[in-house]
Chains A and B, each alone.
Chain A
Amino acid sequence: MDEQATKRVRYLARFILLWAAAVVFRLVQLQIVRHEDFREQAVQQQEKVVEIRAPRGEILDRLGQRLAMSVPVDSVCVNPLQISDAAVASDILANILHLDASELRDRILMAAADHRGFMWVKRKISPEESESLRSLNLDWVEFRTESKRFYPNKSLAAHVIGGVDSEENGNAGIEQSLNDTLEGHAGELRVETDVKQRGYDSAIENAAQPGQNVKLTIDSRIQYIAEIELEKAVKEHHCHTGSLVAMNPKTGEILAMANYPTFDPNEPVDTGADLSPRTNLAVSTPFEPGSCFKVITLTAALETTRLRPETIIPCGNGSITIFGRTIHDHGRYPALPMEDVLARSSNIGAINVGMKVGNSNMYEYIRRFGFGKSTGVMLPGESAGVLHKLKNWQPGSIGSIAMGHEIMVTSIQLAQACSIVANGGFYVKPRIVADSQQPAPVRVLKPETAITMRQMMEGVVIKPWGTGKRARIPGYTSGGKTGTAQIVDLKTHTYTHFYNASFMGFAPVNNPAIVVVTTVHGATGEAGYGGTASAPVFREVAAAALRMMDVPKDRLDDGPPVDDRTVDANDLAIAGLTAPPTIDVPDEQAPAPAAAAEGQSLAPELPNEVVGPTVPNFRGMTMRAVVEQSAALGIPVEFKGKGLARAQRPAPGGILPPGERVRVQFAR
């Protein structure tokens, strides 16, 4: 071969080799040396991390109705550096979002001057504002999804539910105490996107953990009635505040907890605003219970002494001086049966009973009833009340405490104590969260003591001289105790002319289904006593609750409630006041009423002749036909089974006694 040609081929080969080497070198540099750099750039371009929303748990009432819920809403933000004309931008945004245009413009300009690329315009806007702004398709406006807490029923059970701050952290009520349970933890989703930012693949980086729902024992229907009646009582009697607790005495479930004044948790808290309406008075604010505490005194007497309801207690003809203090009763009673000490709310009688009980027994039973310690209900800020240790009691303390002074309790503690009497002597811990772990009830009273005390408390309501006549519920037996305690001025350490007017009671008497404790604070004058101001609230709330709880009536309806304007001055338990006008007591010398047999109500007896509608023949009828016919005749019917009516009791043609219902058995 030609040498020159060979030489040319060799040069060509070397050139090709060099070129190949350069290509390989570049490949190695790009794919191995700078692999990580390019991979990170690719990830930045192609992948984005999206937050997986984890909504806060809902708060429900016992029937599953939502009391609090979180809803995703839009928040508006802008990049100030991308806004060419701040004035125009602020005008547009302010018009739609209802903001101050000049203030917004200043904020945008300030943010741009600070070279900030992000600025919130308005957070958590309404759906209408969001739709209006989105329709403008402004590319310099960005929407971020956030969660906003809503309370659909506004102020209903506001003190129980509480509220959240702007970051949805609970700051009051159940929202605060169960914040860890309700709180959700957002997750992260890694999404791979194409050149048009459309996602085509995703993987969960962190799984979202939605908050758990919390179900309360509150019944929103009873709660509504309670709030309406409490507000009415506070306004009618020109009081400052009020609180109410309604509870199931057997299970401890709190069916309603109302306070007045109230607030709407949907409204944000203004800086410097008065926060007192947001205080849950029922658990946080103790007060002197006054005559309501005589129930504890007499219960302790039944348990630790030989005193019985019919035992005559000296009442000093209306006045007694003890340990340097003079105590008055409104009436001049020389002596009263112990049951009437309660019904007439005799302070002197209560003091004498208390002194019989003694300091240590009294203290023990106060503790048994749960006073002096918090109930443990899952609400923040609960007060344990004030109960001086036994060693700190003064010689006259037994007298004061027997009347419900020198001790401070909360409404929920009173409800708990009343429940012990109502449920037959068991200490049941109040609870507001359904399905929460509850300790087993502990017996603290003998069953016979509880039954006897129930009968005595019924006397407060049904006896003509009872202070709680206004607590009579049409169709139901009820029992309770009124209380009117003067409010102490802590600055001057003297009693004022403002009262805490209370009523604690239960219904029905033989098998109590509900306990209601009502207190209005700041009542004045004769119309501000417990029997006048608080007993009607008990009546209305208990009547509504018993109807909703489907509790059968156990008493003949005896017409509209008693509208007795007689001053219930018996409840007033403070010495040193100008003695109120005496009231004639025509039954002063009357013998004490016969002791009722155990379990027997003191309600009026039914007439011997049974009067009632004639029971029709339902046999062979469908359930719907039975409903229609019984509704037309006004006959209550209890249904069992499905299909056609096969048997009934009472038999057709019989008389249906009052308070009874026809039981119809259905079968296919």
Chain B
Amino acid sequence: MATLAQILDRITLPRSADRVAQEYEREDHEMFRLRMFPNEHVYFYVKKIDNSKVVRESDPKTRRLCWRVFGASCATAIFVSGLFVPAVYSLLAGYKVEALRQQKQVLERERATLDLEETKMLSPARLEELARMQQFVDPTPQRVIYLDGKPEGTFAKR
């Protein structure tokens, strides 16, 4: 802000060429100079610079480096993930294997029970009873014919 001292200086001191040049230069700087503090001869200048029209200069080398780093990072990530994939698959397969193992036990048990039932049904006493009910007769020797060939070591079936 203008002070009394400045006003008096402006009035009383003659304008010399230097002073004119200074004033001219001062006028150039006046655009950027902030208001002076009273009784202070410290001047702050602010200059706004418009960089909107500034364009980054193209740097292919740096770009390549960036992409290289990016690619290396991706590859590293994939590689590290790939190390864990077999373990994950192994874990999932392990679950499946254990489930199948338990299922196998259940099926084996069922099969044993069915084998027992089948054997009971093929007992000679039961077959005899069925033959009697259906009035079967015993075949005479060598009247039983095996169309597919007689199994080795077996006797003719009743």
Contact = CB atoms under 8 A, between A and B. Distances in A.
Interface string B96-126: 0110010001001100110110011011110
A552 B95 contact: no
A200 B124 contact: no
A63 interface: yes
Interface in B112-148: 112-113, 115-116, 119-120, 122-125, 128, 138-145, 147
Interface stretch (B4-12, B14-22, B42-50, B150-158): B150-158
A624 B140 contact: no
B116 A221 contact: no
Contact of A71 (B116, B125, B155, B158): B116
A619 interface: no
B119 A548 contact: no
A627 interface: yes
Interface string A196-212: 00111110000000000
Given A153-B124, A199-B94, A200-B91, A547 B119 contact: no
Contact of B141 (A55, A221, A552, A627): A552
B98 A199 contact: yes
A200 B113 contact: no
A463 B147 CA distance: 42
Contact of A152 (B90, B120, B145, B153): B120
Contact of B124 (A156, A553, A636): A156
A224 interface: yes
B89 to A, nearest CB: 12
Q: Is the interface of B mostly helix, strand, loop or mixed?
A: helix
Contacts of A546: 141
A201 B89 CA distance: 12
A553 B141 contact: yes
Could you say which of A152, A198, A627 has the most chain B C-beta atoms within 10 Å of its C-beta? A152
Contacts of B124: 153, 156, 220-221, 223-224
Nearest to A224: B124
A661 interface: yes
Interface in A124-150: 127, 145, 150
Contacts of B142: 550, 552, 636, 638, 661
Nearest to B128: A224
Given A72-B109, A200-B91, A65 B155 contact: no
What bracket does the count of chain A residues touching chain B fall in?
35 or more
Contacts of B116: 69, 71, 150, 152
A551 interface: yes
B156 A550 contact: yes
Contacts of A202: 94, 97-98, 101
Contact of A72 (B112, B141, B143): B112
Nearest to B97: A202
Could you say which of B113, B115, B155 has the most chain A C-beta atoms within 10 Å of its C-beta? B155
A511 to B, nearest CB: 14
Contacts of A199: 94-95, 98, 101
Could you say which of A192, A223, A550 has the most chain B C-beta atoms within 10 Å of its C-beta? A550
B125 A153 contact: yes
Contacts of B115: 66, 69, 71
A191 interface: yes
A639 interface: yes
A191 B94 CA distance: 10
Given A69-B115, A71-B116, A202-B98, A547 B123 contact: no
Nearest to A545: B155
B95 A548 contact: no
B138 A71 contact: no
Nearest to B119: A152
A119 interface: no
Interface string A233-256: 000000000000000000000000
Given A549-B156, A552-B141, A200 B112 contact: no
Contacts of A623: 147
A134 B124 CA distance: 35
Given A71-B116, A72-B112, A221-B158, A551 B94 contact: no
Nearest to A199: B98
A550 B112 contact: no
A219 interface: yes
A618 to B, nearest CB: 13
B156 A127 contact: no
B77 to A, nearest CB: 26
A201 B94 contact: yes
Contacts of A192: 94
A145 B158 CA distance: 39
A637 B98 CA distance: 58
A219 B141 contact: no
A377 to B, nearest CB: 21
Contacts of A198: 95, 98
A451 to B, nearest CB: 24
B149 to A, nearest CB: 8
Nearest to A544: B138
Contacts of B155: 63, 219, 548-550
B141 A547 contact: yes
B140 A636 contact: yes
Interface string B74-94: 000000000000000011001
Contact of B125 (A69, A156, A550): A156
Interface in A533-570: 544, 546-553
A627 B145 contact: yes
Contacts of B128: 224
Nearest to B92: A200
B121 to A, nearest CB: 9
Interface string B37-76: 0000000000000000000000000000000000000000
A130 to B, nearest CB: 10
Contact of B113 (A71, A549, A639): A71
Contacts of B90: 201
Given A152-B120, A220-B124, A549-B155, 5 more contacts: A71-B116, A156-B124, A199-B98, A547-B156, A549-B156
17 contacts: A69-B116, A72-B112, A153-B123, A156-B123, A192-B94, A199-B101, A200-B94, A201-B94, A202-B101, A547-B139, A549-B156, A550-B144, A551-B141, A624-B147, A627-B145, A636-B143, A639-B145
- List the 10 shortest-distance A-B pairs measured between CB atoms, nearest first: A199-B98, A224-B124, A200-B94, A152-B119, A550-B156, A71-B112, A66-B119, A201-B94, A152-B120, A153-B123
